[in-house]
Amino acid sequence: MTATDLTAPVPPTRTPVPVPEFSVWPATATEEPGGRVLLAGVPLADIADAHGTPVYVLDEAEIRDRCRTYRAAFPADGADVHYAAKAFLCRGLVRLVDEEGLGLDVCSAGELELAVTAGFPPERILLHGNAKSPADLAAALRLGVGRIVIDSPAEIARLAAALGPRGHQKVMLRVTPGVGAGGHAKVRTGTDDQKFGLSLRDGHAQHAVARILDQPRLELTGLHCHLGSQITETKPYLTALRRLVGLMARIRDAHGVVLPELDLGGGHGIAYRPGDPALDPTALARGLRAALAESCAAAGLPVPRLLVEPGRAVVGPAGVAVYRVLAVKTTGGRAFVAVDGGMSDNPRPALYGVRYAPRLIGRRSTAPAVRTTVAGRHCEAGDLLAEDVDLPADVRPGDLLAVPVAGAYHLSMASSYNLVGRPPVVAVRDGAARLLVRRETLEDLRARDVGL
């Protein structure tokens, strides 16, 4: 099958059946009696044949459903939902997020330029980052970004100077609320001992507020915090909310300013394997609204507009990575299945110890399951995509393996390690597939190397 064939609906050769045991797969996932797995009616094996492997497949309906779940949980009359672009961004996804009524949260000039040139309204974009470059700030001001989140005292004067005598920019202040949360120490960002934000405890946040308010070209619209990533409970968010409302009350008392916005960031956890916990956006929204109303009433403050920034929770479960098996062996008492990708297209197992549930997708096997380690192709002992997972004992070279929950922080964190090009991204919907991002080729890599 050619790439152009995938633009038309693909009728299944046999009646597919749902795969309910794979709760972490997109809702459109089905399986034919012969073992082939389809996503949105498109066989993953056909996509692998047409585009090669590794390949990322994004289920558009799953992304839209998740956007709509957030919009229903956080209605527009009192809240904004900003998709966190760092999870994954391409022009096709920019258009989809725009159509679903979400804003964007970006953290570089690159993400910002891509979004705006793809047609996304800049006033619905929020720029943050702990060390924004002059290019980041210049792009934000040139393109008219809606909010810039100030993360350090140095940014205040730098931003005011860049605006010039007649400029004006809405800003928020990132505050560290002293709340530790997240699935790994490297992604916990709400405590005082890391690089983000300004602390509530030592007075640096209050001092920064005073400095911003002294800058007539800067309009402080609210406070921002981000506690971490892969958070599966609502309690940390409620604790942070109460502490930030307390700071908003102190700002009112000290400066006579009532801030109209409160951004609690993202980090909403998802399930990577069946049985894993996940954060329920609807329950989170219900808890936040109740805590916000109670805290503001106690402080004598009007209820501010609430902002949240889901990224992984929107696109992560919509993605499936497809690999082809290159080698199978047993060594040191361990069974290894080596595939044609690895830490260059998914560094998360090596960085954070993330565990996945890979699956044989191109055929049905009746062989018994054995404990297997799925290894990548790169020259690192830590290049392991999944350790100690159950796979059929007869997995062999040429087979296809799929890793669900691959839509977030895979391609966005990918590299060209060993000069292996980054994989393509294919979107599927209603029996049709279309290429969103092409594969990075050797010609692409050579073009960057300009001298001998």
Domains of the chain: 4-59+317-448 (2.40.37.10), 74-310 (3.20.20.10)
The count of other CB atoms within 10 Å of the CB of residue 211 is 15
Q: How far is CA 275 from CA 17, 138, 177, 271, in A?
A: 21, 45, 31, 7
| Short-list 300, 103, 392, 452, CA closest to 112 | 103
User: In angstroms, rounded to a whole number, what is the distance separating the alpha carbons of residues 206 and 216?
Assistant: 18
Q: Which two tokens stand for residue 88?
A: 């994954």
Burial 340-366 (b: 16+ CB within 10 A, else e): bbbbbbbbbbbebebebbbbbbbeebe
Which active-site residues does the annotation give? 379
Q: How far is CA 129 from CA 221, 269, 296, in A?
A: 17, 21, 28
State the residue for tokens 């289920």.
59
Q: Widest CA span of the chain, in angstroms?
A: 73
Burial (CB count <10 Å: 0-12, 13-18, 19+), residue 168: exposed
Q: Phi/psi at 42 (nearest 5 deg)?
A: -110, 125
Task: Say how far residue 81 (Cα) sits from the centre of its chain.
Answer: 14
Per-residue model confidence (pLDDT) at position 237: 93
The count of other CB atoms within 10 Å of the CB of residue 125 is 24
Per-residue model confidence (pLDDT) at position 134: 92
- Three-state DSSP class for 295? helix
User: In angstroms, rounded to a whole number, what is the distance separating the alpha carbons of residues 337 and 373?
Assistant: 6
Q: Which residues of the chain have pLDDT under 70?
A: 1-21, 181-196
Pairing, β 400-404 against β 319-331: antiparallel
pTM: 0.91
Peptide bond into 12 cis (omega under 30): no
Query: Using CA atoms in the order 186, 187, 193, 194, what is the torsion angle rounded to 10 degrees?
Result: 90
State the residue for tokens 């029996």.
431
Q: How far is CA 20 from CA 30, 65, 274, 365, in A?
A: 9, 18, 10, 18
User: In angstroms, rounded to a whole number, what is the distance separating the alpha carbons of residues 187 and 138?
Assistant: 28
Sequence-distant (6+) residues with CB within 8 A of 357 are 22, 24, 272, 273, 274, 386, 389, 403, 404
Q: Phi/psi at 45 (nearest 5 deg)?
A: -65, -35
Work out the angle between the directed axes of helices 153-163 and 134-143 (0-180°, nearest 10): 50
- Three-state DSSP class for 148? strand
User: In angstroms, rounded to a whole number, what is the distance separating the alpha carbons of residues 199 and 56?
Assistant: 39
Q: How far is CA 392 from CA 42, 338, 364, 369, 401, in A?
A: 24, 14, 9, 4, 11
Triad 140, 144, 150: Cα angle to 5°: 45
Per-residue model confidence (pLDDT) at position 250: 95
Contact between 146 and 126 under an 8 Å Cβ cutoff? The reply is: yes
